[in-house]
Amino acid sequence: MTTEPTATPPGPWHPDPMRQQRADHTLADLLALPDDAPRVELLDGVFQVMPFPTLGHQSIPLLLAAWLLRHAAGNLRVSQALGVGLSFNTSRQPDILLCRASVPSDRSTLRPSDVVLAVEIVSPSTRRIDRFAKPGEYAAAGIPFYWRIEQDPVHVYAYRIGDRVGPGGERQYELVADGADVIELAEPFDIKLPVAEITP
């Protein structure tokens, strides 16, 4: 009686350590990730595994997405956890985004020109990234509007691209409204958002 060798299943996906050191991953590598890959962002050629969100963190984008679906202008589409290719070697995944309704439904990565609003929910582990890194990257890529939502208590900060230019020549966001009660904005559509409606 002979026994056939059994195939050893491959282990879980992990990034190539040499390419991580060289920081030479690209958007093409990101799009080619296998189905078992964790949720990652690509920053300057390096894959970064995103931390697990808390229940409170996840509740806010769900409530905001539901509110936006009811109120957003017809030429806009609401999405969650969709990648935005900011450059050939950087991609971020806003917690919520509004993109142009004309974007094809089969796209898994958007261009900055597709995105009208990017929203990040701030957690203790992402505080510095959401307050400083991501708004700088989104503004430099030309995304017109950015919202940062703080937790405990929920407080919304709404920004738009301004005329101010950063040290590298890139345009920067300016704060146009913030509040813990109601956010009223004329762009990207007429908004009167009661913050209680997105508070878990």
pLDDT for 153-164, tens place per residue?
A: 999 999 999 988
Q: Which of 38, 51, 49, 43 is nearest to 26 (CA)?
A: 43
pLDDT for 167-176, tens place per residue?
A: 888 889 999 9
pTM of the model: 0.91
Alpha-carbon distance of 200 to 27, in angstroms, equals 35
CATH code reported for the domain at 55-198: 3.90.1570.10
pLDDT band for position 1 (cuts 50, 70, 90)? low
Q: What is the mean pLDDT of residues 116-125?
A: 95
User: For residues 41 and 129, is the Cβ–Cβ distance under 8 A?
Assistant: no
Handedness of CA 30, 126, 59, 143 (dihedral sign): negative
Q: What percent helix, strand, coil does the chain show, rounded to 5? A: 25, 35, 40
Alpha-carbon distance of 14 to 20, in angstroms, equals 10
Percentage of the residues of the chain whose pLDDT score is greater than 90: 78
Mean pLDDT of the chain: 92
Looking at the chain, which residues constitute the CATH 3.90.1570.10 domain(s)? 55-198
Res 57 pLDDT > 90 = no
